[in-house]
Structures are given as C-alpha cells and as structure tokens.
A and B are shown apart, each in its own frame.
Chain A
C-alpha cells in the first residue's frame, strides 16, 4: 500500500512540479510584482498600491483598452456561440457528405489562432482585398475595414467567430446525446421544429452552453494574436485589447510591476464574470434529473 502511494506520487510528481514551477510560482510572483516598481534589471521596489492607483485614476490608455476588451468579449462570445450552435444544429441532420462538412467546418479551429491566418485575414480585409472585391461584384462600395476605428474591432471579432469549430463539436456531441424519444413525444403532441428546438433542444443543451460560455469568455479575454498581427491595436487604439497593453508595458517598456497590476485586474474581471455566470446558471442551466419544470 505504501509502495503504491509512493509510486502514485512519483507519477504525479512531473505534473505537480510543472504546476508549481510554471503556474503557481509565476502566478504568486506576479501578484507580488504588481505592488512593486520593477524593470527586470534592478531589484523590485515595493510601492504599495501606486500601480493600481495610477491604473484607476490616471491611465487613460487602461480605460480605453478595458472598454475595447469588454466590447470585444461581449460581441464575440454570444456571436460565436450562436454561430457554433447554428452550424452544429445543421450538421446534426443526416445529410449527404455530412462527414466532409463536419471536418470542413472544424478546420478553421485548427488553423484559427495561427499567425498565418491573421496575416491572411489582413490581406482579405485590406482595401483592395478579397472581401471588398466580393462586395464590389454585388455593387457595394468598398468598406474601410482596418482604417476606420468603428470597423476595425468588428473585423477582429469576425476572426474570432470564424474559429467556432471547437464549440461546434461540443454542441454537436450534446445534440447527438439528446434522447430521440423526447422529439418523438413532441412530434406526437404537434410541436413544430422551432417549438421543439426552443422547448426541448435548448433546455437540454444549457449545461453545454454554460461550459462553452465560460471557456469562450476566458479565451476571448486573452485574445492577442489577431489584433497584434493585423492592427497592432490601432487605429486610435480601437483594437487595443488588454493583453496587448500588458505585453507592451512588460516587454516593450519593461514596466513589469505595472504590467502585473494590469494582469491582475484582468484576472479579477474574468473571475468576477465567471462567478456571475455560475450564480446565474442556477436560473437557466438544466441538468439531468433536475426537478424544475
């Protein structure tokens, strides 16, 4: 028994050591550093709440970046989830070449976060890019996707929504696990497709919607590649998400303490929104065996 325990711990050791060294220590170190002035080259100097005080009272860039980030998350997450669910519902039908379509719709998720796709996006949405050429064939005048601060964030949002594959696969698996007898009963009662979707499918999908909501929200708050490659946060900081700001402060200006403070504010925001989502889930997420009606 003792031998088994030692063996088990030995198997766990690489994970535990990795967790401590690469996650727990940097996590706690960043908390400490957020209360310091630290430029990497000289020792951190304790300054109490000065970084946070500056962040909340004097840093216009932070507020601008926070607004942009929240807008990005609140647009991207519902749009992406709705689109993923819509495609999953279609792919749940028995169609010809359905396996090909399922693969084809998942491919963007494999490619999605890569630098190459961000570069491709840049060329597609440039003034003389593919998208404007397509619009021109429909008689629509070209859109300034990146140069207009009002459009740039939307263009970045589309890139994120395009990577809907992983959420779609989870939705598809959940759709396929719904008991068919429920649909049969609904059909006998005379329910149409929309009523069946709203009153049978959707409630049974709520645990998966909730899971996807949390995952997509956390990922959206961490978005970096798209805006960094395509717009570098511009124009006029209209796509300057907080992860870009953290990167610039830490690695371009060497304000490690200040960057840590921004990172912790971002962490607290994500945590708060996650807690709100968990709290609200009691009202709208239905699990198997749930007694609510």
Chain B
C-alpha cells in the first residue's frame, strides 16, 4: 500500500513536470528551399535554436523547383509550416493586403532594429511587416578580365566605353567573341536598368500602382537592347534560341571566354566563375552607366524573406526561433552565408570575414550603388511573361521598339490593376 502511494506520488509529479515542459516546449515546422549545404546549415541552426529556446523544430526542405507549388498548396489548405522561407517576389501572391502571413511587428521577441528601414519596407505588404529579409542581393556586372586583356582593352566603366571595347574585342578576337550576354530575364533587367538610369524611376509607381515609365522612356530602353545586338556585344535572341535554352554557365563559349560578360545576381559569382577554363578570370565590376544617367539604377532587393504563418498555433515560439536564426550568435554561426551575405546587422558583423571575396566584392558594389526601391511586381510571373514575350517579338522583328513598349505598358498595367 505504501508502495502504491509512493508510486502514485512519483507518477503524479512526473506527469506534472511533463505537462509543464510540454506547455513551454512547442513543436514547430519550418520549410525552405535550397541545396545540400543550406539544408545542413539550417538543420543545425534549428537544432541549436530549438535547444536554446526549448522548442522542437522540424525541417521541411526541398530544391527550388516545385517549392512555390508546394507552398501555394499548403497556404491554400492552411497547412503551411510555422516558419517559411519565401521568395521576395512572391509576397504579393500570398499577401496582397498584408494578412497572408503573421504581422511580425506584433510578435514579441524579434529584434527588428537589426534591419534597415528599407529592408523592413521591402518585406512589408500594405504597410504590414510580412517577411524579414534574410539577405540582400542585386544584379552586378561580371566581366571575363582575360578576354579583355587578350584584346588589349581595359574593363569598361561606362556603357560608352563598353561599346568602344566591344568594337576593339571583335576586331582583335573575331566576330564570334561577344562582350556580353542578355537572355530572357537578364534581357528584361537590362532594359529595366537602361530606363531606370535615365529616369530614376522603378517600373511600378507605388502611389498609382501603374507603370511609372512612359512608352517613350521604355522604347528607348528597348532600343538599348537592340543596340547591344546591332553592335555585336550580345548574340541575337534567335542565335540564343538555336542552342535550345542552355544556361549561360553551361555554354562552351562562356567557358572559353568567347562570351565575356553578363549581368547576374551577386551571390551567383561562383556559378559563373567555376565553369571557366583554366586561366580565365571573372571579376565583378562597378555599375556601367549610360550618358546622362540620374542614378546607378541598381536592381537590389531582399533575396528571400522568412515569414511566420498567420495560422501558426505557436507564433511567439516561431518568433523566438526566427530571431535566433537571424540575430543570435548560435543561429548566425550555424546558418553562416548559406543564404548569401546576411541582411541582419548582427549577422553581418559576426560573419564579416566569411564568404568568397569576389561575392563580397559583388555584394559591396550592389550595396554601394544607388537606385529606386524595387517593386516585387518586377518579378511577378505574369509581368515577367509579358516582358519576355514582347522582347522576343521585338528581337524577331515582329514589333518595333515603340510598339513593344506600348504592349508591355498596357499588359503590365492590366496585371497591376488586379491588385488595386
């Protein structure tokens, strides 16, 4: 009998302890896309941050392909993870009015002082903070220094110098050497760059939610793309299509330095530098500007954001984990630069000496360059489709620059009107 009483007392105490710890230790889910190194780093970060704050966080990870479809299906069924990695241009898809995800300003435990106001603004929809920028990325110019040296010309510092250098490179190295590359979204972003440098305006006017550029301004930008083809700086779209949609970094001409430059995300330096043949050197260079430019026109944006589910049963616990991953030493050390150079000031300071020097150099160029705040609508799938399809029609001579500009402005405004 005595034994039974003692057992009951011990059992009761153990049960109480279990119940208490269960109330504090929440079970959470986090989803992300990435490669092997990011998966390992994030799992480590979740383990350390989970242990620190007394939660268990289960990772759900995959490659980029199919992640949007998976996330959309989960959001549609309210079964999304508590913490999610969300591509920045997807914010308007999931949270037009700022209610798609949890309001991060309303959750305690996140040190928002670690982000710049610009970062917080770009993660907000309808004024509500929906996602925290994990890292900031932007398009930067990479040039194959070896090719330019072989032709005896300096790396250009302006578009005027670039066209001059192109002429010299083609004279010295042959007509099959190209100084630059512009396919699909890179072509779109080059046109965007030309218009932004000239006007100082992003494509979307946030006040009116319509295209900020006039048809004439855009036509001039499209004409700039045409000039790149006419001068032999880039291959024509027809020539590009002849290869059957092969990525630039997979092309033998790129590896051999026969295509000697491109305009790519700063964080992708290694992807383009690694396939180069021995002896070829790729360098990030400062933004080239057209004559009369009013800004560098840098296309800078959060590469991705972390968001918390509006349906999470444990939003405060999720906020603790989010803050740990992005702002606390354990999480920062574990994640490292697996998502690029971090946007959080604490993480940037802690990881000041990590990462590849050329990626740092490219990122430094992106961060130092000027340009208007970029709207996520620039990468809206429909808007991107309209832009790329129209530029293809222009490249094949079906439309002139003016008609192409009209088609883009009308099409983009149609899409934007759905978000009024």
Contacts and interface: CB of A to CB of B under 8 A. Distances in A.
B243 A126 contact: yes
Interface string A45-76: 00000000000000000000000000000000
Contacts, number: 67
B279 interface: no
Contact of A235 (B100, B238, B246): B238
B379 to A, nearest CB: 12
Contacts of B75: 40-41
Which of B73, B244, B245, B396 has the most chain A CB within a 10 Å cutoff? Answer: B244
Interface in B362-420: 381-382, 385, 389, 392-393, 396, 398
Contacts of A232: 245
B385 A236 contact: no
A229 to B, nearest CB: 8
B164 to A, nearest CB: 29
A59 B107 CA distance: 46
Interface string A124-147: 011100000000000000001111
Contact of B76 (A40, A127, A231, A235): A40
Contact of B244 (A41, A123, A248): A123
B135 to A, nearest CB: 25
Interface in A197-219: none
A130 to B, nearest CB: 13
B245 A235 contact: no
A148 interface: yes
Nearest to B76: A40
Nearest to A144: B242
B239 interface: yes
Contacts of B243: 126-127, 146
Nearest to B93: A254
B337 to A, nearest CB: 30
B242 A127 contact: yes
A282 interface: no
A232 B382 CA distance: 16
A231 B244 contact: yes
B72 interface: yes
Nearest to B73: A40
A168 B5 CA distance: 82
A39 to B, nearest CB: 8
A126 B392 CA distance: 19
A234 B392 contact: yes
A220 interface: no
Interface in A204-256: 230-232, 234-237, 248, 251-254
A254 B96 CA distance: 14
A148 B245 contact: no
B392 A236 contact: yes
Contacts of B385: 248, 252-253
B278 interface: no
Contacts of A80: none
B241 interface: yes
A122 B385 CA distance: 23
B69 interface: yes
A148 B238 contact: yes
Nearest to A129: B244
Interface in A108-167: 122-123, 125-127, 144-149, 152
B244 A230 contact: yes
Contacts of B392: 234-236
A146 B94 contact: no
B327 to A, nearest CB: 30
A252 B242 contact: no
Given A235-B396, A251-B69, A254-B72, A41 B245 contact: no
A147 B76 contact: no
Interface string A244-275: 00001001111000000000000000000000
A41 B76 contact: yes
A230 B238 contact: no
Interface of B: 68-69, 72-73, 75-76, 93-94, 100, 237-246, 381-382, 385, 389, 392-393, 396, 398
Interface of A: 40-41, 122-123, 125-127, 144-149, 152, 230-232, 234-237, 248, 251-254
Nearest 9 pairs between A and B by C-beta?
A: A147-B242, A122-B244, A147-B241, A127-B242, A147-B238, A40-B76, A235-B241, A252-B381, A146-B244
Given A41-B75, A235-B241, 10 more contacts: A40-B73, A126-B242, A126-B244, A127-B242, A144-B242, A146-B241, A147-B240, A147-B242, A230-B245, A251-B69
17 contacts: A40-B72, A41-B72, A41-B93, A41-B94, A41-B100, A145-B242, A147-B240, A152-B241, A230-B244, A230-B245, A231-B241, A231-B244, A235-B237, A235-B241, A235-B392, A236-B392, A248-B385
